[in-house]
Amino acid sequence: MDRRIFLKVTAVTGAGTTLASCDAPVHQLVRFIPEETHVPGVAEWKPGVCPICQAGCGVLVRVMEGDAEVVRNGHAGVVAMGLAKKLEGNPEHPINRGALCARGQAAVQLTYHPDRLTRPRKRVGARGSGQFKDVSWEDAIAELLSKLEALIAAERRSALAFLGTPGASARADLVDEFLTRFGARPAARFELFDNDVLRRANELSFGRYQLPTFDLDQARLVLSLGADFLGTWNSPVSQGAAYGQMRQGRVGIRGRLIQVEPRMSQTGANADEWLPARPGTEGILALGLARVVMSENLRPAAGAGRAGALVDGWPAGLLDYTPEQVEKRTGVAAARVERLARQLANERPSVVIIGGAPLAHTNGLASALAVNALNALLGSVGEPGGVSFMPQVGRTNPPASRPALQMLLADLLSSERSPIDVLLLDGGVNPVFGSPQAWRTREALLKVPFIVSFAPFLDETSALADLVLPDHGFLEGWDERRPESGARVAVRTVAAPALRPLFDTRATADVLMEVGRRLGRPLELPWQTFEEMLASTFETVPETPEGDGWTVAKRHGGWWGAPATSAPVVRPRASTGEPPTPTPQRVGDPQFIGDQAAFPYHFLPYASQAFLDGSVAHLPWLQELPDVISTAMWSTWVELNPKTAARLEIRQGDLVEVTSPHGALRAPALVSPGLAPDVVAMPVGQGHEQFTRYASGRGANPVNILAPTAEPVTGALAWAATRVKIARISDPDGSLIMMAGSLHEHPEGGRD
């Protein structure tokens, strides 16, 4: 058919075709009237809050008009609406200073994920089967209300419980207020890699139940004990920015980094020196360093005054920490201990960081206290180039006497009748995945008669719910966070909705307020909407020429205090005369679960670069991100030292079985030079049974086989204290997918 005939034919048949298409509704494109106006092709930048971790970075989202398929009043159609195209760091934000990490960049996929829950659902199948039916918001909220009214009628108000993730925010305050007014139990909060041991240590040492901020950009020497502060720990973007400055941001000064850890982390790879110490002996090393500093009189004059309370009387107390004894216990050579101590004392400002696995041992709190004291001794507390605490807005959540999730689980498992009738599960909290099987989390939660989840995705925990009331997606609702670390000034990150909700979801904060209003005897929360609550918390912020505090915060993506001229001063608490327990002068040997003969290897699970604790394993961009150490994608693996692998006749990719006293798992082996021969390491994040099409059924979850042992004072899970054995099962099963394998990588000697 040439062009002329084609035109003739279309002219004749065109009218008919148009009419014919009206009969088949499937060919009709219903276009709804847009609810907002955008200039096509022109981008608007709106502030947002990164939801991925507790760092609380500020983002800017690029919003442009596009066509989205939506459902309106039961009709499917298309509407032009503002869509999120790209996230960038908010350049004004004091924590991330315009940058974002890989996980933050991928956060936009939370909103446009194909397996997001699009409307309220009610369970129809067995619990955990994932079988639900759609219900209306009206019916869903009515059902929740009837359950709550039943609690009130039965005088069992305390049988209402809430389980969420940690972190200070207005939303957390609202939940607390709701629970208090209702008369429910206090909210339980859980995150596998939470840093409660370090917070508790800082409370004992400095009176601040808070994570520390490190002034890396002014430091000359940084000693990091196991903290992957450039990759996954605390506030990685803020710390990465400061690290860049520390290395090349000053004329003539290049700060140095020494990393101590049994497995080379991303941070360890950047260190000038890397020292593998025996797992769990980092605090012993810190005391050995302190002893050398004192016995050689290297203690800087500046350190004496403020540090006094923490370190006075130490020389007598550190008799057992001679370099030789430290070598015996930690595996770090005595001469190296002495040299390291002299470097810390001479290359000032110097600072010591402890985080991650060293605190996940039975002696974790003692190790953290030892490092706090060492920093005080070095004169690095509250000084430029040292460690300090970020000023905080509002109250910080007081530490529970025992970790709240364990308390909840113990209550559930120990009693015949569940002490909890209704459990509210917040989005993002997934203890069924993130806790050892030995905790029997799933079994405990199944005893609760009625579970309501606010999760935007079905995961191992939210799949147990009877009623799912999905929260708005990231960027679709009001958000606010109060970061505890990473800046010199107080920060509140805040953002208005940047996008209209794509689906029939509702902001959990507003749902709670509605429930509070509609109870027979209303809870009388002081606000009608979450927006109103946020605005009210900004009333005390002073007005500036730009406008009142609330308006300015909305425009800039948050509020931050004026830059302090120097790092905030922190006073050691010991001046009250009450000696902190346990004393910083003693770090015991770590205790491990598993007999050394039967279970010869230390098992080291670690937060993975792409997935952290696994809560973002459902994002396809992160699944396909090659791990920077192993270059593996879409995979999980068991890391082995080359000598260990050779002895066990295990080759790269072979399927191996890792067995602990509390379970076993199978995964492909990855032979990695940066790992001690007596350690077996494994990234956390994969091994989801149920977490969207991208993460479900992929790999194994190392958390499953951990022993349920705890740091004794805080009760926090000692996730690095399990021993394992390892056995080869079979040849490669093809599940280990490496990027470097196809890129013909050759080491280039002497290139840099």
Which residues inside 317-336 make contact with other proteins, applying CB under 8 A? none
- Which one of residues 195, 213, 234, 267 is an interface residue with other proteins (CB under 8 A)? 267
Q: How far is the CB of 500 from other proteins (least distance, A)?
A: 12
Give the residues across from 350 on adjacent strands: 221
Beta strands, E only, 400-519: 422-425, 450-453, 467-468, 479-481, 491-495
CB atoms within 10 A of CB 19: 9
Closest by CA position to 720, among listed 363, 442, 286: 363
Half-sphere exposure of 188 (CA within 13 A, CB side): 23
C-alpha span between 142 and 328 (Å, rounded): 65
244 binds other proteins (CB under 8 A): yes
Strand bridging mode 273-275 / 422-425: unpaired
DSSP alpha helix (H) spans, 571-628: 620-623
Nearer to other proteins, 7 or 743 (CB): 743
List binders of other proteins among 365-424 (CB under 8 A): none
DSSP class of residue 395? P
Cβ neighbors of 440 (< 8 A, separation 6 or more) are 409, 413
- The smaller minimum CB distance to other proteins, of residues 114 and 563, is found at 114
Q: Of these, 52, 420, 675, 705, which contacts other proteins (CB under 8 A)?
A: 675
Which range touches other proteins (CB under 8 A), out of 170-178, 263-271, 278-286, 404-412?
A: 263-271
Minimum Å distance from CB 193 to other proteins? Answer: 17
Tokens (6 digits) for 626: 């090659």
Residue in 16, 25, 74, 114 binding other proteins, rule: CB under 8 A: 114
The answer to whether 71 contacts other proteins (rule: CB under 8 A) is no
- Residue from 79, 412, 676, 720 in contact with other proteins (CB under 8 A): 676
Q: Pick the binder of other proteins from 47, 167, 231, 477 (CB under 8 A).
A: 231
Rounded Cα distance, 216 and 735, in Å: 40
CB of 273 to other proteins, least distance (A): 6
Question: CB-based contacts of 752: which residues, under 8 Å, 6+ apart?
Answer: none
Hey, what are 213's tokens? 């901020």
Asked whether position 154 contacts other proteins by CB under 8 A, the answer is no
Q: How far is the CB of 243 from other proteins (least distance, A)?
A: 6
Q: Does 89 bind other proteins (CB under 8 A)?
A: yes
| Alpha carbon distances (Å) from 120 to 309, 511, 648 | 56, 12, 52
69 touching other proteins, by CB under 8 A: yes
Q: Does 222 bind other proteins (CB under 8 A)?
A: no
| Angstrom distance (rounded) from CA 372 to CA 204 | 10
| Region of 186-194, 337-345, 552-560, 675-683 interacting with other proteins (CB under 8 A) | 675-683
| Residue 680: DSSP 8-state | E
Q: Out of 158, 270, 437, 551, point to the residue binding other proteins (CB under 8 A).
A: 270
Q: Which of 614, 607, 601, 613 has its CA nearest to residue 660?
A: 601
Closest CA to 245 of 257, 233, 234: 257
* Least Cβ distance, residue 94 to other proteins (angstroms): 14
Opening angle at CA 214, ends 583 and 165, nearest 5? 80
CA distance 254 to 218: 10
In 348-387, which positions are buried (b, 16+ CB within 10 angstroms) versus exposed (e)?
bbbbbbbbbbbbbbbbbbbbbbbbbbbbbbbbbbbbebbb
Identify which of 609, 639, 617 has the alpha carbon closest to the alpha carbon of residue 736.
Answer: 639
- For the CB of residue 83, give the shortest distance to other proteins in the complex, in Å: 5
Binding residues for other proteins restricted to 711-740, rule: CB under 8 A: 734, 737, 739-740
By CB under 8 A, tell whether 252 contacts other proteins: no
DSSP designation for 25: G
* Site membership for other proteins, residue 707 (CB under 8 A): no
CB 342 within 8 A of CB 296: yes
Contact segment (CB under 8 A) with other proteins among 228-236, 358-366, 376-384, 565-573 equals 228-236
Give min distance, CB of 717 to other proteins, in A: 27
The verdict on 748 binding other proteins (CB under 8 A) reads yes
Name which position in 54, 90, 109, 453 contacts other proteins (CB under 8 A).
Answer: 109
Q: Least distance in Å: CB of 348 to other proteins?
A: 18
Of the two residues 384 and 741, which places its CB atom closer to other proteins in the complex?
Answer: 741
Burial of 407: CB neighbours in 10 Å, binned 0-12, 13-18, 19+: middle
Contact between 41 and other proteins by CB under 8 A: the answer reads: yes
172-191: contacts with other proteins (CB under 8 A)? none
105 sits near other proteins (criterion: CB under 8 A): yes
Does the protein bind other proteins through residue 532 (CB under 8 A)? no
- The sign one gets for the Cα dihedral 309, 317, 331, 657 is negative
Which of 56, 212, 236, 501 forms a contact with other proteins (CB under 8 A)?
A: 236
Tell me how many residues contact other proteins (CB under 8 A): 90
Residue choice 419, 561, 582, 677 for contact with other proteins (CB under 8 A): 677
Q: One symbol per residue from 635 to 674: x for binding other proteins (CB under 8 A), - otherwise; what is it? A: x-----xxx-----------------------------xx
For other proteins, which is the closer residue by CB, 118 or 158? 118
Q: Is 693 in the site for other proteins (CB under 8 A)?
A: yes
- Minimum CB–partner distance for residue 604 and other proteins (Å): 15
- Given a contact cutoff of 8 angstroms between Cβ atoms, the answer to whether 49 and 58 are in contact is yes
Measured between alpha carbons, how far is 597 from 663 in angstroms, rounded to an integer?
Answer: 17
Q: What is the maximal distance between C-alpha atoms in the chain?
A: 103
Q: Tell me: does residue 633 bind other proteins (CB under 8 A).
A: yes
Nearer to other proteins among residue 305 and residue 734 (C-beta): 734
Q: Give the residue with the Cβ less far from other proteins, 508 or 623.
A: 623
Residue 255 touching other proteins (CB under 8 A): no
Cβ proximity to other proteins, 682 vs 717, nearer residue? 682
Q: Judged by CB under 8 A, does residue 506 bind other proteins? A: no
Going by C-alpha positions, the residue among 681, 686, 659, 679 that lies closest to residue 670 is: 681
Cβ-count burial of 545 within 10 angstroms (0-12 exposed, 13-18 middle, 19+ buried)? exposed
**Phi, psi (rounded to 5 degrees) for 605:** -75, 145
Which of 192, 211, 222, 241 touches other proteins (CB under 8 A)?
241
Query: How far apart are CB 257 and other proteins at their closest, in Å?
Result: 10
Alpha helices, H only, 107-169: 108-111, 137-153
Stretch that binds other proteins, among 130-138, 196-204, 242-250, 291-299 (CB under 8 A): 242-250
Task: State the nearest-atom distance from the C-beta of 624 to other proteins, in Å.
Answer: 4
Q: Which of positions 572-631 make contact with other proteins (CB under 8 A)? A: 609, 620-626, 628-629, 631
